[in-house]
Structures are given as structure tokens and as C-alpha cells.
Structure 1
Amino acid sequence: MTYYLAIDQGTHASRACLFDEAGELVCAYTKKIKIRRINDSHIEQDANEIINSVNEVVAKLLREAGTQHSIVACGIAIQRSSVVAWKKDGTPISPVLSWQDTRGKQQLLELRKHETEIQQLSGLALSAHYGASKLNCLLNTARRQNTAMDTLRLSPLISYLLFHILDDSPYIIDHSNAQRTQLFDLKKLSWSRRLTELFQVPVQTLPDCVPVLQNPATPHGKLAGTDIPVTAICGDQNAAIFGAGLLMPETALVNFGTGAFVLRLLTHYRASEKQLTGIACSDNNTVQYVREATINGAASALTWLEKKHQVNNILEQLPAWLTEAGLNNGLNKARQPPLFINTVGGLGSPWWHSNIEAKFIESEFIKSSNPLNKMQADRATTDLSAQAVAVVESIVFMVCINLEIMQREQTLSSLRVSGGLSQLDGLCQRLADLSGVRIERMKLPEATARGVAWLAAGKPDGWSNVELDVFKPAISPALAKRYAMFSATLPY
């Protein structure tokens, strides 16, 4: 029996997972990591804590699984758009600025006149969530510390991780993670001189760009202290696309984590004005492009609500609340959930706004065709259960708005869903009812890890047979009415 190791370094935890040649999960180990929310725009993590967490789970897996000699390849997936400044000896000189960190947004005000050019080159809408503006902030940090430019490295977290866990300490980055910096030319597959000039990030401080995939004979490197070749490196959402093997173009994936991400593989490169274009996979000869929509407030929006009400058990109660609200289905107007203007983390696609306050509003107060200008009318119920349902529905509403845009390119026949919040039946059924397509929930506890393991294994055919929970569309007039009101409240 041969095995494949997957390392999944996420926002809240690092995981090491072992899969057999049929794609079955053999064992997994997790180490939680801390995240510091200094304020709404400054969100940090500790670089050394992340490295130590990865080393710990990998060492535990190799020690307790006892199959190191049979592990033929390793894949690494990581949180995207998180960045760090460090010296070439591997010493960090800054915290990790999370993908949720938006401290660089001031620089973007000066770049608005270039936003069309920036999106055409990078595939990304101008946003402080991506790496470029944060790397510029880190450059200023390095200058204040008088760090010599010839020793300075400004990079996404993946490059820092690879330096510390691969045997030859390379300074590299895969195409999928490089693209999330907003400094990468999506067509040329290299750093863009124009983008690095616009964002004022010295290209000599950036890592070398490499394909997502390498073959075992010429891997990205070997895990330090082992003979295990690393043959796949990519962003976590990119890996999740392949959690059940190859995803067909008529099927999209919605991955519900800290944020929610809607992804669909493209048959060829196509730009999009309202959504993102990225790289799902690449090797030395080919590139697989992906269309992506981003909702910043998914699980993080529920965390926001818990903080607002000073509770910590919303997820435990949500299934019952969602069921009760669904059974009500408009029969009792007084018990209808409010609308939640979900701007937690900033509005992602297709709006790309960062300065709108998150609010609950009752539907009867929506009178304007553009109520974005009337967000001060916060007269909604303060009931926790109703607000929790409204948060979940806001996530579903934003996913559906993005699906409507995505289907202008190609009709979708089904949606695959994964991630923690996908375990909410009430969320999945609402998504089916509003989208009008079949929802397939993968019974995969580690979709991201399995996806990068599948890539590392060379894309074997047999990994597509996964168990699914299916949710079929039904008619829900009250939900459809709330969706129409939400869409009118947030025009794009």
C-alpha cells in the first residue's frame, strides 16, 4: 500500500492528513493556532507558531502512523493572501498579516485610477485583502527597522513555510499563491513589473515562481529529515476544488469556511469584471484557470455575532433555529428573520466595498431602490436566534448573487459544498431552493487536504467516488422574497 501526506495550513489550525492510494483518510492530526484581532483592519498571526504547529502535526503523524517508508508524495495547501516579512536566514521581522487584514487599504485609494489595469493583469479586483498592499506595509516596517534590502524577503506565508520545512530551504512560491498577491501576471505566469511598480514592492524581495505541480523525480523539495518528495503546493481554496477529484465545468464548488468561496473551473482563460480569475493548477506545460467569487463573512460573521451577543455557542443552536425559521416559511410575519447586511470583513464579489457597516434591518424599512445610503436605520429585532438565521441567509444570498453572475458564462447543473458551515442542513436547503440546482454535500472531513493529496498523487481516477448528501430545490416563497429584498439592498 502506498500513501500520500497532505499538509493543510489554515487560518485557525494546521493539519497533517494521511490518505491511502484509494483516497481514503487513514489518520489526521490537528494543532490549533492563535489569531490576534487588534482591530477590524489589523489581524495578525505569529510566524513561528505556525511553523511549529506544522512541524508538530507532521512529526506526530509520521511517528504514530508508522508508514513513512510507504509515503510516496506530499502536497501542501495553505491560507492564501497572508504575508510576512523576514530575513534570508529565516528570521521573521514582522507578524503574519492575515488574509483578513486590510491595513493597506489607504494605498488602494491612490490606485483607484489604475484598478481596471490591475484586474486585467492580476485577475483580481483591487482589494486590501490581497497581498500587495500588505507587502507594501511590510516594506515600510522593514525600512523602519533598517533591514538591509539584500537580506529582506517579502512573501506570502507559503514561501516562509517552505523555507522552514523543505530540506534545501528554497525561496519559492507556487503560481496559485503568487497570483493572490495581486503582483502576478496571470497570463505570463511571472511577477509583473508594472504591478510591482504600482504597489511599490521591490521585485528582488519576492520569491521565485514555480508551477503548482512537480513530478516525484524533480520535486519542489523533500520534507526536511525525510525522503518524502513534495509534488504539489497550492492555496487552500484551490485545493478544495479537487477534494473529490476532478470537478467538471458544469459543477461549481462552494467552500464554507472563515469566508465562503465559490469556484468553477474554466475551460480556457476568460477575464471577469465582477469576479476573480485565478489558477487552480499548473505544471511545466499547462495551466488550469478558475473563476472565483469571494464572500468574506461566513464563519467569521457568526463569530462577529457571538461577540456582539457575548455568547459562544451559536453553531450548536443554529440547526434548530434554521429548521424553525424554515417551517415558519412566512406564515407568521412577526417571526420572519431580518435581513443582515453582511459586510463582516468587507464586501467581496461582486461589490468590492470596505466601508459599509454590518447591520440588521427589517424588510418593511427597505423603501429605497438603493438603501446602501440608509444603513443608519438599524431597527431590526435584537433576538439572537432571528439574527443568527439572518446571518446564515446573508451568506446564502451572497453566494446566489455570485452564482447568477457565474451562470452568465455557463449554466451550472449542480453545486458541491464543503467546509464547516456546509454541515448545516438549513443552509444547504436554502441554497438549493434559491439557486434552483441540486446541492451535493461531500462527506469529506478534510476536503482541502484530500484535494492537495490528489494533486500530489498525480490526479488518480479512483478518487471521485465519494459519499454525498443531496439537497433538491423546493419552492420557498418567503425565502425568495427576502432574497429579492436583499438583492435590492445591495445592488452591484
Structure 2
Amino acid sequence: MAEFVLAIDQGTTGSTVALMDSAGKLRASVNYEFPQLYPKPGWVEHRPTDIWQSVLKGIRAMMRKGICKPGQIAAIGITNQRETALLWDRQTGEPLNNAVVWQCRRTTDFCEQLKAEGHEKLVRRKAGLVLDPYFAGSKYRWLLRNTSGVARLRKAGRVAAGTVDSYLIWQLTAGQNHVSDVSNASRTSLMNLNSRRWDSQLLDLFDVPVDILPDIVPSSAVLGHTSGVPGLPDGIPIAGVADDQQAALFGQTCFSQGEAKCTFGTGSFILMNTGSEPLQSRSGLLTTVAWQLGEKGKPVYALEGGAFVCGAAVQWLRDGLQIIKRSPDVEALALSVGDHGGVEFVPALTGLGAPHWAPEARGTITGLTRGTERGHIARATLDAMALQNADILRVMEADLGKRMKPLRVDGGAAANDLLMQIQADVLGRKLIRPQVIETTVAGACYLAGLGIGLWQNPGEVRGIWQAEREFAVKMSTRARRKRLDSWNNALRRTLA
């Protein structure tokens, strides 16, 4: 009987459910979006019930396709939006508040207070992260202090906290497993990078009690089994879990030190495999756990730089400025003009991430003239998506001390040929796009398949990956320098 891996890719704007067969072919996927909540400027929330219902809808829709019988699902893999923090009731499974999303900036003042008190070096040394509202630790603190009835429930031992992976595993196993994989745990500011355990000093700093947190587990191993999930039999092993960017790194088969990928999603994220030892950045990048295969496997670490707004900028053109009707329309609109026409868009719509780490920054559009058209704004948006990544790659190579290998790209926006050519040009290096650009799903499937022995080792998985297209550099060195100078001038104005 054929075997399949069911992947759940729980993202920022929706949930994707996909099926991969034992040959490593993605057979089908479905996606269900859910509402984004913006209760105050700079705040972003999700209703946990919306997250869970979108996953259930995806599972039901996938099983209705009839590609396989429920009994043929050998394992489930999960990948998820990172850093988003939740609290729920251990007894009822009900959420205690809305989830505080990774983009949310509500804890900026607290993070700035910790910086002023001189705690950033400690967090950097132990957790590998900067002090920023982006990460889950300060979000847990906020939820514990601002959720009605939480003190009473804590006394009764009923409060559970976790990132989205923990919440989904809890729901899929009917509350039998409260766990988080090591990649997700490394994004909380509460886990010690070397021991891969919750760190008492960091817990005290963020005022988060350890008893509400999940157990930290490997990324590829049997972590629990389904129970009571509509449309699925009980007992399916949940055998692979990683947050979205680490799953994409795995899905791109970047198994060797120095291999890197860039994912174009709501934000854009470059991750580079640095091997079995954490590499501390001198340039404002993050040190994180990429994955751990099995209980006895050595962890693999990564260096990371992320821009908070990438595809979200195109969504803003669609929903905010309303200059396009559909997100894919941005490519044709940008091609309607020769270049950006002097327009620079710095998309600091929720602050600036690496390497600037300026949560207070706000987006700017400069260089407007009477001759500016919608196409110039669309082109400036695509340019900005690529130029942010150029900033990250520059400092990543400085930390590494050498030039990196060709960059692998993925994510929904990687299908945009114009954006990929712009990215190759401003980086001055070749890009490689795989046949499957939604590599987060592939990574979750590979981790789950390895976790149950469907594939025996990463080398076998590497044989599945295939390139679809390469983008060579077309821009001259002189033109690249001129383009980067214009961008840097706009950045300075924004940061000022």
C-alpha cells in the first residue's frame, strides 16, 4: 500500500494542507485564509480558533480529493509561523486570549527597557537573538499580564503557553502532548542555544514561569499521535515539526555548512546552515537552531536575517493603496515602466528587521514627481523586497568571512520572474529556484518522513530536490552600486 505524508503549513495569513507521496512528489495542496486583527496601530493578532478551523478545513478538503485513504497517511509534518504566542486552558483546550502575532510591536517599550538596563548581551549570548518585540518571550509576558482570569487559572495549573506548533500538536493529540520543537523554542528568547533547554536566567528576565511552557523536542521524531481529529484516524504519528523558515531551509536540502536559502513570504528570510556549532553574529543577525534529527542527533544551527515586510508590501498595494486587484498583478504593473523612476519605497510598515532592528521605523515613499505612475510604485516595491535582502546578505557574508554559494529561493513571491531577476542583479550572484517553491511544506514532509523511516537519511532526501530555473546576473557592477546608493539614501532618511 502506498504511503503518504500529510503536511500542515500554518502561516501568517492562512493554513495550507498538502500531501506528499513516498517518492517525494507533492500531490496536492489546499489553502484557507483567516482574518488578521489590528486592534491598535502596530498590533497584530489572530484568533486561535480561526487558526485551528483553517487547519481542519484544509484536512477535510484534502481528504475529499481522494488521492489517498486516511489509513494510507503514514505521518504528519507541521511547519508554522514563528514567534506567534498563545495561551490556552489545559483543561478545556480553549484559548485564553488572541494570539499575539510575530509582526506585533506591542512589547516595544518592555524590550527597550531591557536594553536600557543592559540585558541585550545576555540574551544575545544565551539565546542568540536580539532584544526585539518580534520574539515570543516578551509576548508571553504581555499575555500573562493582560489576560483576564489568568492568575486564577495559573494557580490551578491550567495555563499552557506555546508557539503555534505547540497549539496545533495539542489540538491534534486531544491535549495529550504539550511540546515544541527545538527550532520553534529557539525563537522565544527563553531557550539556551547550547543546552537546548529553557534557561532559568532568561525565564526570570522575561518573567515567564517554566511550568506553563512546552517540553522541547527534536524536529524529526515521533512527537505524538492524532486523537479525535475529524477526517483522520487516531494514531497517526506526528513525526516532523519545524518553524517555517527552518522548514524551508530543510526543504531546500541545505544540509551542508554555508548553503543558504531566501524565502519570500509575508516577510523575507535568509537562513544559512552554519553546522553543528552556533555562530554568533557581529552584524545584527540572529543565531538560531535550524533542526535536530532524532533524540540523539546533533543540532544544526543557522545564521538568519529577516525583513518583516516582503509579500506584505504587495498586499498593502492591493488592499491599502488599491493600485492592483490581485497580488500577482504587481509584476505586469512593474513591467509597464522601465525602472523605479527615482521612487524609493522603504517598507517599514511594522518596523525594520535585520540588520537594522528599528521597531520604531515607519514606511516611507520618496522621490515622487508629477511623472510618477502606479508602475513606478509597483517597481519600487519589488526593488525594496530585493534590496532588503541585499542588506542582509552583505552582513551575513561579513560574519561568515567568505562569499556564499548561489542562493536558493522559494516562497510564493519566488514565482515572480521579475522579482527574481531584480534580486539576482542587486545581489550580484546567481539564484536557483526549485521546482517546488513552497519548500516549507516540503521541509515538513521530509522531517516527518525521516522521523518514521520513510526515508532513511538526508542524502536520500537530497536526491528528491530539483532545480527549475537559474537567474544569472544581468546588471553591471556600476549600475548595481548606483542602485544600492539610492536605496541607502532612502534608508538613512527613514531611520533618521
TM-score (norm 2): 0.88
- Tell me the equivalent position of 1:104: 107
Q: What secondary structure sits across from 2:131 in the alignment?
A: coil
Residues 143/308 of structure 1: CA separation in 2 closer, same or farther (3 Å cut) = closer
2:223 to 220, 223, 226: 220
Contact 2:85-2:99 at 8 Å conserved across structures: yes
Distance, in Å, in 2 between the alignment partners of 1:447 and 1:243 is 5
Q: Give the 5 Å matches for 1:478-489.
A: 478-489=479-490
TM-superposed deviation, 1:312: 4.5
- Tell me the equivalent position of 1:164: 171
1:411 aligns with 2:400: no
Distance, in Å, in 2 between the alignment partners of 1:309 and 1:58 is 35
- Tell me the equivalent position of 1:471: 471
Structure 1: gaps of 5 or more residues = 330-334, 363-377
Contact 1:361-1:380 at 8 Å conserved across structures: no
- Tell me the equivalent position of 1:126: 131
- Tell me the equivalent position of 2:88: 86
TM-superposed deviation, 1:485: 2.5
TM-superposed deviation, 1:399: 0.3
Q: What secondary structure sits across from 1:448 in the alignment?
A: helix
- Tell me the equivalent position of 1:433: 425
Q: What secondary structure sits across from 2:376 in the alignment?
A: helix
1:237 to 214, 222, 245: 245
Contact 2:366-2:490 at 8 Å conserved across structures: no
Distance, in Å, in 1 between the alignment partners of 2:153 and 2:234 is 34
Residues 475/52 of structure 1: CA separation in 2 closer, same or farther (3 Å cut) = closer
Distance, in Å, in 2 between the alignment partners of 1:381 and 1:98 is 39
Give RMSD over aligned pairs: 2.2
1:297 aligns with 2:309: yes
Contact 2:3-2:21 at 8 Å conserved across structures: yes
Distance, in Å, in 2 between the alignment partners of 1:56 and 1:307 is 25
Q: Deviations over 1:200-220 (max 9, x none)?
A: 111221111111121xxxx11
Contact 1:337-1:387 at 8 Å conserved across structures: no
**Paired residues, number:** 466
Residues 244/307 of structure 1: CA separation in 2 closer, same or farther (3 Å cut) = closer
TM-superposed deviation, 1:308: 4.1
Distance, in Å, in 2 between the alignment partners of 1:168 and 1:357 is 41
TM-superposed deviation, 1:82: 0.7
1:210 aligns with 2:211: no
Contact 1:243-1:451 at 8 Å conserved across structures: yes
Paired amino acid for 1:255? T
Distance, in Å, in 2 between the alignment partners of 1:443 and 1:322 is 25
Q: Give the 5 Å matches for 1:430-469.
A: 430-458=422-450, 459=458, 460-461=460-461, 463-469=463-469
Distance, in Å, in 1 between the alignment partners of 2:373 and 2:335 is 16
Where in structure 1 do 4 or more consecutive aligned residues deviate above 4 Å?
143-146, 378-382, 476-479
1:177 aligns with 2:184: yes
Paired amino acid for 2:110? Q
Identity percentage of aligned residues: 27
1:280 aligns with 2:290: yes
Residues 471/445 of structure 1: CA separation in 2 closer, same or farther (3 Å cut) = closer
TM-superposed deviation, 1:379: 7.3
TM-score (norm 1): 0.89
TM-superposed deviation, 1:184: 1.0
Residues 59/316 of structure 1: CA separation in 2 closer, same or farther (3 Å cut) = closer
Instruction: Give the stretch that moved more between structures: 389-398 or 160-169.
Output: 160-169
- Tell me the equivalent position of 1:140: 145
Contact 1:102-1:134 at 8 Å conserved across structures: no
TM-superposed deviation, 1:304: 2.6
Distance, in Å, in 2 between the alignment partners of 1:341 and 1:379 is 17
Paired amino acid for 1:288? V
Contact 1:168-1:221 at 8 Å conserved across structures: no
Structure 2: gaps of 5 or more residues = 228-232, 451-457
Residues 78/381 of structure 1: CA separation in 2 closer, same or farther (3 Å cut) = farther
Q: What secondary structure sits across from 1:15 in the alignment?
A: strand
Paired amino acid for 2:431? I
Distance, in Å, in 2 between the alignment partners of 1:121 and 1:436 is 35
Residues 213/179 of structure 1: CA separation in 2 closer, same or farther (3 Å cut) = same
- Tell me the equivalent position of 1:9: 10
Paired amino acid for 1:111? L
- Tell me the equivalent position of 2:263: 255
Q: What secondary structure sits across from 2:327 in the alignment?
A: helix
Q: What secondary structure sits across from 2:74 in the alignment?
A: strand
Distance, in Å, in 1 between the alignment partners of 2:335 and 2:470 is 17
- Tell me the equivalent position of 1:332: none
Contact 1:245-1:463 at 8 Å conserved across structures: no
